[in-house]
Amino acid sequence: MPIYMDRHDVSQGVTAEDVADLHNQDLIVQHKYCCKGLSYWFDEDRSTAFCLVEAPNMDAIIEMHTNSHGDVPNTIIEVDTSIVESFLGRIEDPSKSQKTELNIVNNPGFRILAALKFMDGQYLTSPSKEVLEKIKNIIENYAGRLIDSHKEYLLISFTSTTNALHGILELKEYYVLTTKSTEQIRIGIGAGVPITKNHGFFEETIKTAKRLTDLQHSHIIITTEVKELYESENQNKRLNPDIFKILLFQEEEFLNDVMNYLDSEWQNPNLGVDDFCSHLGLSTSQLYRKTKSLLQTSTNYLIQRHRLNKAIKLLIKKDMNISEIAFETGFNSAAYFTKCFQKEYNILPSNYLKSV
């Protein structure tokens, strides 16, 4: 049967014991609905609870909750247990820590997520096996979990903001000292819960962290929320501005608005500045100023770069020829695609295809 995670927005004042009691009520009646409650997470600070349930469908989960205690979930999504475990560390209830009737779990699903992108000039690169092994050791020393390890980026999950920032800083210092001067590491750090409204598992936080790595900055870029969490854990100790760049809430909102629209429209060959202005409610000059300030580029070049990044991935797959890739990625002609590709990467797409 499929596995689901649901989100409950609980009232302020609800305690870990209250949530444990609700979870226990589910376990008593779950067999009537062919469900199996695997585990749950409760975040008192954010008044949220997340249940992991094996069930035939979402309706069965709603019926189980309705008839056991009446607290119906706000959102339900289907999840992969291996991914849940990689982010949250478990997929079953932890062993009881006390000899009590309830298994009280006061363990929030909230996580700090760091995305790391490795660059050699304009090209994405990957750390060597030796370097990757050292990176894993550093992460583990700070109680982090490596989620993804592939050509595009590394994704790392932490429960503590302090551990996240200190661990990532040590990781960056190690990487800079042990790799060639032409190689760069770009780092973005965000924070969030497993499920937000109508989004996949940690989807919003992952997107934000990855997008921060596109800001072409030598600093470790963090959201304002991460900065505030760090200060609350460290008695208002300030972060070194020479090392960390803090993205303001307005900048983060603009970045995600721009990139969400680009993600949905990039294959449209007629996509241009006017479309972004209309969607975002900005004038041409306002859009240019904001995009240039945050992304160090124009909107038109942002569109082109996004398409070329998609083209690289298609070239690596070798499923399509160059003309097909050009039109698939929103270019009006194969000749213009080739011209843009060569200008960006200093190599013809045909030669790049031979090299991969």
pLDDT tens-digit readout, 134-187: 999 999 999 999 987 556 789 999 999 999 999 999 999 999 888 876 668 899
Question: How many CA atoms are closer than 13 Å to the CA of 258, on its beta-carbon side?
Answer: 30
Taking the chain, what is the end-to-end CA distance rounded to the nearest angstrom? 40
For residues 46-62, give the mean pLDDT: 95
User: How many angstroms separate the CA atoms of 305 and 309, rounded?
Assistant: 6
User: How many angstroms separate the CA atoms of 224 and 17, rounded?
Assistant: 32
Q: Which residues on neighbouring strands pair with residue 283, listed in sequence order?
A: none
Q: Give the C-alpha distances (Å, rounded to integers) separating 41 from 4, 53, 78, 184, 218.
A: 14, 12, 16, 37, 36
Ranking 43-47, 74-78, 208-212, 337-341 by mean pLDDT, the lowest is: 43-47
Residue 316 has pLDDT above 90, yes or no: no
Question: How many CA atoms are closer than 13 Å to the CA of 146, on its beta-carbon side?
Answer: 17
Ranking 1-10, 91-100, 182-191, 247-256 by mean pLDDT, the lowest is: 91-100
For residue 96, the tally of other CB atoms under 10 A from its CB is 12
Tens digit of each residue's pLDDT (9 = 90 or more) over 325-343: 999 999 999 999 999 999 9
For residues 10-15, give the mean pLDDT: 88
Would you state the pLDDT for residue 313?
A: 87
What burial letters (b/e) apply to 140-167, b meaning 16+ CB within 10 Å?
eebebbebeeeebbbbbbbbbbbbbbeb
Predicted model pTM: 0.88
Element at 189 (helix H, strand E): strand 183-192
